[in-house]
Amino acid sequence: MTWRTVLVKDSEYIKLKLDSIVILKEEYEYVIPLSDISIIVLEGLQTTVTTRLLSALTRYNISLVICDHTYTPTGIYHSYNGHSRASKMIQAQIAWEEKMKGEFWRNNIKQKIYGQAQVLSLVKPDIEAIEKLENYITEIDHYDKSNREGHAAKVYFNALFGKEFTRQDDELPINAGLNYGYSIFRAQIARLVVAYGLQPMLGIFHRSEYNQFNLVDDLIEPFRPFVDVWVYTNMREEKFLTFEHRAALINLLNLRSKYKNGHYTLLVIMEKYIQDFISYMETGDLSKINMIDMTSFEGASKSEV
């Protein structure tokens, strides 16, 4: 199983050699087998990438994340479809029933708010806020038409970062950390969606005609709290999103938490969650989708950055 996320801060040249990526920087040469890699994050604005390597990345289903001058991920390059039965999967995806999609979204948001309540319990036990989140979970309806997700987000972020905090201010280091972490998770889920033959444009709740990753943005929701808890623990007093912060956020994918009856890295949990999602859409059995439990998440405690 691929497990490495490679962060390339500065490089002169990146190319393919046999079945490995070669990163050239000054007089140094770094070689990493493609079979080990799930994501490459490219921050260097002067880096040259060969088309031969780009072609190989699609064969190995490796996502390439491109960042701008502020180190904000602005694009994802991934294989178009790497599944042997992609056409059949997409036809099934188009035929998914609205009732089943609405029920999945209800459960998906339940998972997200449950995770938010767990974050508060772990790092900032605001009893009133936690009780509100738990009440919102019981009130979520089909497709979350009453927008419990939105109400929960306000309660949650106010409890976590203070009542003056807003997610709309991109200049805040906290938001920079959240956005960076979410983007890395989004890239990983995108490569898994494609690997399982799903069409990322065809979402459950997200249905924008301008968004190529509607389904990805659906599936990422329960995983956002993993980024939130790390940012709260490690960045709430910081003035900048540093290289060390970015590297640590990327490494969250390799940290373990509980899912089903075992402890797995987030890379594995994401894949299992997507497998469970597909099983539900094929059978209509919501018990196929397990709760994501982050109480034992390795990234909840302060890390060395």
Task: Give the CA-trace dihedral at 163, 70, 43, 222, to 10 degrees.
Answer: 20
Q: Which residues are annotated as a binding site for Mn(2+)?
A: 149, 206, 221
d(CA 73, CA 183): 6
Nearest 5 degrees, angle CA 154-CA 156-CA 160? Answer: 120
Residue 265 tokens read as: 């890295």
The Cβ of residue 66 has, within 10 Å, a number of other Cβ atoms equal to: 16
Which runs of consecutive H residues, i.e. helices, occur in 124-242?
127-139, 148-161, 173-195, 214-219, 224-235
Which runs of consecutive H residues, i.e. helices, occur in 14-172?
51-59, 86-94, 98-123, 127-139, 148-161
The sheet with strand 262-265 has its strands ordered as 262-265, 256-259, 292-293
Going by C-beta distance under 8 Å and a sequence separation of 6 or more, which residues neighbour residue 50? 14, 15, 16
Q: Which conformational region is residue 103 in: left (phi greater than 0), alpha (psi within -120 to 50 degrees), or beta? A: alpha
Query: Could you identify the residue written with the tokens 């905090």?
Result: 165
Q: Which residues are annotated as a binding site?
A: 149, 206, 221
Query: Could you identify the residue written with the tokens 């602005």?
Result: 74
Indicate the SS3 state at residue 29.
strand
Residue 167 tokens read as: 């997610």
The Cβ of residue 159 has, within 10 Å, a number of other Cβ atoms equal to: 21
The Cβ of residue 255 has, within 10 Å, a number of other Cβ atoms equal to: 17
